[in-house]
Amino acid sequence: MSQPIKIKNALISVYYKDGLEPLVKFLAANGVQLFSTGGTEQFIRDLQLPVTAVEDLTGYPSILGGRVKTLHPKVFGGILNRRALNQDQEQISQYEIPEIDLVIVDLYPFEETVSAGGTPEEIIEKIDIGGISLIRAAAKNFNDVVIIASKDDYAGLLEQLEAQNGATTLSQRKAYAKKAFHVSSHYDTAIFNYFNTEEPLPVFKQSVKQAKTLRYGENPHQQGIFYGDLDSMFTKLNGKELSYNNLVDVDAAVSLIDEFDAPTFAILKHTNACGIASRDSVLQAWTDALACDPVSAFGGVLITNREVDLATAEEINKLFFEVLIAPSYQQEAIDLFSTKKNRVILKRNNVELSTKQFKTLLNGVIEQDKDLIIEGPDQMTTVTEKAPTASELEDLHFANKIVKHTKSNTIVLVKDGVLVSSGVGQTSRVDALRQAIEKAASFNFSVQGAVMASDAFFPFPDCVEIAAGAGITAVLQPGGSIKDADSVAKANEKGIAMVTTGIRHFKH
C-alpha cells in the first residue's frame, strides 16, 4: 500500500520524554486515540489529554514488576496486521484488536547503566524486552505502521504530520523503519558485548551510532567517514574539521603522549614522532622537541601533556602546524592561536579508550589487544660486561617508549631525554640505523653518548658495530635471535652496554 496512511491509533511508551509534548498534543488534537503505559501514560494525563491504558486494552495488568506490560496479542496484533490482507482484517475484527498506525517507543538505558557502573542486577533489568519487540514489530510492518524509536525523530515526524494532514508516506515509514532497526541492532550488540567478556566467543561485533563524514579519505579520490564520538574525546577550540589523515595522526599522538608522566611535547608526521622531549617545563619541552627536526615539524601534529601557556603558545605560533592537542590552555594562548582560522586547536577530555584495535583486512577484519606494555629499567636485563649508567637507563626507557609508537623497522636514538633521531619504516634494521645516524648529522646533532633502542632483535651484529662506531654507548633490544650471542659479543668487543627486555614492539 503506497498511498499515504493517516494515523488513527498510536501506542506511546518511552523512557525519555524530552520533546514529546508537542507531538502528543498534535496527535490528540487530530483525533488519534492514544494508548500508553506507566510513566508515559501519566505524562499524557498530566497534559490533560485523553489516553487509554494498555492494561485496559489487553485486560491484563502490568505484572512481574513491570517486566510484562505490552506483550499481548491485542498489542502486537494491532501493530503487525496487514491492512491489505483480508484474513488479517477478519481476525482483528473478530478479536476486537485496534489497528495501531504509530508506535513511539524507546529502550531502557542499558549502555548508560553499564557506563555508570551499575550493579549486575541493575544492568540486567535494563535489558528491554517489550520495547525491543514493539520496535521490531512496527518496523517489520512499515508498509502500514510508523515506528519512532528515538526522541531525535519527534520533531521530524511532527513536521511531516502537520504538512500531510496527519498522514505518512511509504518512503517516510520505510526510512523510520531503517532507523529503528539501527537502534535495535545497536542495542543488541551492546548487550552481547557486555556478556561476551568472560571466556568470550570468537565473534566480532561492533556498533557505533555517531558518524562524521570527512572531506575525503587518505587521498581526495577516497571517501572517508569517522565512526565515533569525537566531541566527547576533544573540545575543538579553533580550526577546520579534522581530515582522515589528521585523525590517524591524532590517534598516534594520543597513544604516544600517554606513555609520559613528565612535562612532554611531541611532534608527529605520518604517525611517527619527528620530535619529542621531556623537560621541567612545557616551554622547554617544546623548544627541545622542535630542535629534533624542524624541517619535518612543518605541518605536523603537536601534542603535550601539560597546559599550554602564553609563552609556549608564542613560540609554537612561529611554526605552521595542522593540529595542536593539550589538556588545557591559558585563554591568552587560545586567543593567539585563533588568529589563524584553519589551525585546529583541541582540548583533550578525560575519556577512557578501548584496549582493542581492529581494521579491515582482505575479506575480513583483524583484531588485537593494544600494545599496553612498556618496559622500564626494572625490566631491562644487562647482557654485556658493561652495564648502562643510571642516566643511560633513563634514556633507554625514554627511547623504548618512542620505539613502541614508531613504524617498523625502526631505530631510535635518544640523549638526555630528547629524541636525537630515528630511522623509520625501513626494510632492514641496518638501513634504519644508518638513516637515524645520517639524519642526526644533517641537523648537526652528535650521537656521541646517545643510546639506541630497536623495536626487534638484531639478526646480525652489524647494527651493534655501526652504533659503536658512531659513538652510541648503550643499546636496548628485545632479544630472542638465535644469534643474540654474536651481538652481545660485538658489544663487549666495542665496550658498549646492552640490555634486553624480552618484549618486541613491531608496529606495521
Q: Which residues are annotated as catalytic?
A: 140, 270
CA-to-CA distance for 129 and 390, rounded, in angstroms?
A: 61
Chain-centre distance for alpha carbon 209: 11
Closest CA relative to residue 79, chosen from 50, 54, 112, 113: 54
Closest CA relative to residue 271, chosen from 246, 292, 306, 243: 246
Q: Are residues 296 and 276 in contact, defined by beta-carbon separation less than 8 angstroms?
A: no
CA-to-CA distance for 407 and 426, rounded, in angstroms?
A: 8
462: amino acid identity, one letter: D
Strand ranges for 319-424 from DSSP E? 321-326, 344-348, 356-361, 364-369, 381-382, 411-415, 418-423
Cell numbers linked to 12: 506511546
CA atoms within 13 A on the CB side of 53: 10
Cell numbers linked to 211: 558518524
H runs (alpha helix) in 405-479: 429-442, 462-470
Instruction: Report the Cα–Cα distance between both ends of the chain, in Å, rounded.
Output: 54
Closest CA relative to residue 506, chosen from 480, 473, 469, 471: 480
Side-by-side strand order, sheet with 146-148 = 52-53, 33-36, 9-13, 102-105, 146-148
**Residue 324 CB partners (closer than 8 Å, separation 6+):** 301, 302, 303, 308, 316, 337, 343, 344, 345, 346
Q: How far is CA 346 from CA 57, 197, 303, 427, in A?
A: 54, 33, 9, 35
DSSP 133-177: HHHHHHHHTTTT-EEE-SGGGHHHHHHHHHHTTTEE-HHHHHHHH
Closest CA relative to residue 424, chosen from 409, 437, 443: 409
Whether the CA torsion 155, 160, 166, 169 is positive or negative: it is negative
CA-to-CA distance for 65 and 82, rounded, in angstroms?
A: 32
Whether the CA torsion 287, 293, 298, 304 is positive or negative: it is negative
**Residue 46 CB partners (closer than 8 Å, separation 6+):** none
CA-to-CA distance for 9 and 28, rounded, in angstroms?
A: 10
